[in-house]
Amino acid sequence: MRSRAIYGLAGKTLSADELAFFREAQPWGFILFARNIDTPDQVLALTASLRAITGDARTPILIDQEGGRVARLKPPHWRVRHPAARFGVNYGANAEAAREAVYLNARLIAQELVALGINVDCLPVLDVPQPGAHDIIGDRAFATDPAVIIDLGRAQIEGLLEGGVLPIMKHIPGHGRAGADSHLELPRVTTGAEELSAVDFVTFRSLDSCPMAMTAHVVYDSIDPQRPATTSPKVVRDVIRGEIGFDGLLMSDDLSMKALDGPLIVRAKAALFAGCDVVLHCNGDMDEMKDVASGTGILEGESMRRAEHALSLLQPPRMPFDPDVAEARVAALLEGSA
């Protein structure tokens, strides 16, 4: 039986301590960062060793491969990808071309991931940036217009799924107004519920069929002034599951981020009590992972159903797909010469 957690690891190979811990903890999934990545062969061997622990070829192995400044796979072994905003710039001139470029770019990302044994990408970013907000989202979003984000977000989801990779929409129910970086401190949004619903939540509501979503470590004063979304039963129940209508697998953002406080076991329990299906812990610190593990328990019930539904959407990449042709097509579409 699998636990309600996704863990990072410290290095490019599994240590003896990590191997023993993961065998006992049996996490639902793992997440990779730049510290875990060297060459394609090394990454493929690492993902194989992680799946050997669970004995399940479908075990989710996640990565943040957005393009732009958030990319764990980098040259010389992997191509540089444009940030989302680059595609949004083209949308006004030619929406159809921008959609095609986003779809093909997502297929290209998926192809690189599948070749490494990675089957989940923490993408699309559906946050709606607002004037005066911290630039932690910035060009990671397609645009400031929710309608553009929805259209291009849908194309990105389709490209990842048809490339054999599960998408995770983030950061539900919206990080675009946050005046702080939740990696470093807890953002607080004072905007009224009606405006949040019309602007921030609408992108997630329109793409609620995405199989997975990641929460925002953000307090929304008009909904729950006491707790960030990740640990707020009211936000999860009334907004994410209720108003937005999301019934896919809900995972927390990283529990070790400074937006949250208290012992890791308390953070894990609070996120699960609020309604997250699984929790995410990224930094690979063994003592912290043990604390998280003591507060998670077994994946079962509705959370198990959602997890199984997400995994059921993993399919072999849709063929035919020629990456060289796709690369050239994306470049032409973005240059306006296609």
Instruction: Tell me if 188 sits within 8 A of 226, measured CB to CB.
Output: no
Instruction: Tell me if 150 sits within 8 A of 88, measured CB to CB.
Output: no
Could you write out the DSSP letters of every residue in 8-28? --SSSS--HHHHHHHHHH-EE
What whole-number distance in Å separates Cα of residue 15 and Cα of residue 28? 19
Instruction: Tell me if 150 sits within 8 A of 84, measured CB to CB.
Output: no
> Catalytic pick from 17, 41, 56, 183?
183
- Chain length of the chain: 338
What whole-number distance in Å separates Cα of residue 129 and Cα of residue 113? 28
> Catalytic pick from 127, 200, 253, 291?
253
- In sequence order, the 6+-apart residues with CB closer than 8 A to the CB of 296 are 3, 4, 5, 268, 272, 279
Structure tokens at 315: 């399919």
Instruction: Tell me if 166 sits within 8 A of 212, measured CB to CB.
Output: yes
Residue indicated by tokens 């993408």 = 123
Residue 253 is a catalytic residue: yes
CA distance to 14, 112, 190, per residue, from 49 (Å): 8, 19, 46
Instruction: Tell me if 218 sits within 8 A of 171, measured CB to CB.
Output: yes
Nearest to 69 by CA among 56, 55, 85: 85
CB-count exposure of residue 327 (10 Å: 0-12, 13-18, 19+): middle
Could you write out the DSSP letters of every residue in 102-119? HHHHHHHHHHHHHTTT--
Give catalytic residue positions.
183, 253
